[in-house]
Structure 1
Amino acid sequence: MSLKGIELQIALPKTFEAGKIAEQKQQQSQVNQDLASALVEREEKRKKGKVLEAEESAKIRDEDEEKKRKEQMMQSKRKKAESEEEKKKSQTHPYKGSFIDLTT
């Protein structure tokens, strides 16, 4: 199958156009793949950020609860110590009698 000069004038430009179109399609698929991977990466970063944020807020909440619990324990110890001291002061002694506060 031989091509004549006039046929070559039509065939060669179409061959170049087909090559260019094939190259553009290949590049377009690569660009699409790069965009898709960038979207996936961005979504993973967003999700990771949410997880880290949730962990941090849980840690802060736990620390706050621990502080409250410690404060309550200290307060209950103080109240218990005060009540014991008050109880000691108000108890009557078998030989000395009862405690009388004469301060005004």
Structure 2
Amino acid sequence: MTGRPGGDRGSVAAELALALPAVLLVLLLGAGALGAASRQVALQDAAADAARLLGRGEDAGRAAAAVARAVPGAGMASRTAADLVCVTAHSEVAIAAVRLPLRASSCALAGGL
């Protein structure tokens, strides 16, 4: 007998149909994770900017506006410890159906230029 067995016919299509949703899910989660990482970097940069603004004596509203402008929907809290002004910026990111909190902190010297 030199023919192909009939039981293998269509197996590649069936395997692809089973694997394709898993591959798509992994791609979507990967893209979501990259987006979350990008937002975290922007949040860290915004916290540093806000800390520098407060360290120079700017208004807290202006610092909060800088954070919200850099990362839409983000908020911030600040505190002063000795000669440092510290800012914690916070936001949320959604990956698929899961919402993850993001936080970034930065400090600057109070009275700095």
Coarse TM-score class (shorter-chain normalised): 0.3 to 0.5
Under a length normalisation based on structure 2, what TM-score does the superposition of the two structures give? 0.44
Q: Which has the higher helix share?
A: 1
Q: Which has the higher strand share?
A: 2
Under a length normalisation based on structure 1, what TM-score does the superposition of the two structures give? 0.47
Larger Rg: 1
